[in-house]
Structure 1
Amino acid sequence: MIAYLSGTARSVRADSVIIVAGGVGRLVTVTPAHASKVRDGMEVELHTDLVVREDSLTLYGFESADERSVFQILLTVSGVGPKLAMAVLAVLGADGLRAAVAGEDKKTLTSVPGIGAKGAARMLLELTGKLPAGGVGLPGTASTAAVAPGDQVVDALVGLGWKQAQAENAVADARAATPDAPVPALLKDALRTLGGRL
């Protein structure tokens, strides 16, 4: 299993990045918030989890071992696959998920695209007492950089399951509230807006 990866970022997309290490580029799926912090040529470190399926090998990357642990635990929940687990981390984050489970907050869980009332109830039942305490990221992990918000946030939201028009409206609302917000903050505000519309 590939549990850790360090190298140079290439071809950064809304939900993935290629990490070049030892002359080999590995495609790693990450959350949109994490992708927004990475730039081509940047040295990055990721905790990773290799998900093996009958027809694919997919590498998922995380800023901390804690986030990776939460992802792995999410995969044990009935009906939760890697894509939905990443959506949970993208919308709520590890700490947000912990808070939602501790508070038995179904509404917060249903703010994640793909999770309905039944799915939220099942997650609460299966995750109670299983989530680890919070952790810290790698010291070398890319730090948040303030950049002008743009289509990257809309693309990330569409990738998480919202329609283009919904994503554009949410980003416009978030930008109107905080015009100079960096991309990660804009993404969180847009997700919060969309969550309130579900």
Structure 2
Amino acid sequence: MISSLTGTVQAVALNTAVIDVNGFGMLVNATPGTLSTLQAGREATVFTSMVVREDSMTLFGFATAEERDVFEVLVSVSGIGPRTGLAILAVHSPEEVRIAANTKDTAAFTKVSGIGPKGASRIVLELNGKLIPTGAPAAPSTGGGNASVWEPQVIEALTGLGWSEKDATSTLKSLSKADPDVVATGNVAEILRAALRSMSSGTRA
């Protein structure tokens, strides 16, 4: 089982990245938050989970071991495939998933594209006792509150997911007013999650 990869990033695409590990190009599926931390030509480490099917072996990569661990619990739930598990972690941080599962917050899961009320109810039922909040503080800032540092990265990630640059810019502008605490962190992954929640719900923060 491959639990992590360290190597040079060869390419970063819409939902995947290729990491060169000793001459082998390893294709890794990942969330926008994880992909936003990878840059072609630079060395990186991603924590991985391998999903084995009869006709395929697919690697899913995460910026932290905690994300990978929560992903593996999520995909153990009936009806949650790896793509849905990845989508949940694109919208919510690992701690937010733990809190939602522990408090039976079905609304948190319906914010994820493709999950309706019935699916969310089943998820919280099956996650009962499997994910407990750790009380961990929010992830540290990776770029400070200066928008010139994080904004281009977030806009690039959103446009890479199919949103127009106009919509991405408008959402970030609204997010700055509606959720200034998140924006003030300058944390690319957290801001991206907040923007995705806003865009997926059909609102502008």
User: Could you tell me the TM-score, scaled by structure 1's length?
Assistant: 0.80
Confirm or deny that 1:107 pairs with 2:107: yes
1:26 aligned residue: 26
Match of 1:11, SS state, is strand
The one-letter amino acid paired with 2:167 is: N
- Secondary structure of the equivalent of 1:84? helix
Aligned partner of residue 79 in structure 2, secondary structure? coil
**Equivalenced residues, count:** 185
Contact in 2 for aligned 1:69/1:132 (Cα 8 Å): no
1:174 is aligned to: 172
Contact 1:48 1:60 in 2 (8 A): yes
Instruction: Report deviation, 1:155.
Output: 2.5
Unaligned runs of 5+ in 2: 144-148, 178-182
2:4 is equivalent to residue 4 of structure 1: yes
- For the pair 1:197 / 2:202, whether they are aligned, the reply is yes
CA RMSD of aligned residues (A): 2.8
Question: How far, CA to CA, are the matches of 2:14 and 2:174 in structure 1?
Answer: 22
Residue by residue, what CA displacement relative to the aligned partner does 1:7-44 show, whole Å, maximum 9, x if unpaired? 11111123211111111110111110111111112211
- Partners of 1:61 and 1:97 in 2: how far apart? 18
SS of 1:70 mapped into structure 2: helix
Asked whether the 8 Å contact 1:171–1:187 carries over to 2, the reply is no
Equivalent residue runs for 1:109-188 within 5 Å: 109-131=109-131, 134=134, 144=142, 146-147=149-150, 148=152, 149-156=154-161, 158=162, 164=163, 169=167, 171-178=169-176, 183-188=188-193
Q: Greater relative contact order: 1 or 2 (C-alpha under 8 angstroms, separation 6 or more)?
A: 1
Change (3 A) 1:112 1:48: same
Opposite residue 48 of structure 1, the aligned amino acid is: T
> How far apart are the structure 1 equivalents of 2:61 and 2:173?
28
Does the aligned pair in 2 maintain the 1:30–1:61 contact within 8 Å? yes
The code of the aligned residue for 2:117 comes to A
Distance in 2, Cα, partners of 1:24 & 1:132: 37
Other-structure match for 2:73: 73
More displaced 10-residue stretch of structure 1: 127-136 or 15-24 = 127-136
Deviation at 1:83, TM superposition (A): 0.3
Per-residue displacement from partner, 1:101-135 (whole Å, max 9, x unpaired)? 12211111100011111111111110011126649
Q: Give 1:139's aligned residue.
A: none
Q: Mind listing any 5+ residue stretches in structure 1 that lack a counterpart? A: 137-142, 159-163
Q: Does the CA contact (< 8 Å) of 2:2 and 2:50 recur in 1?
A: yes
SS at match of 2:9: strand
Amino acid at match of 1:184: A
Whether the 8 Å CA contact 1:37–1:144 is kept in 2: the answer is: no
Amino acid at match of 1:155: G
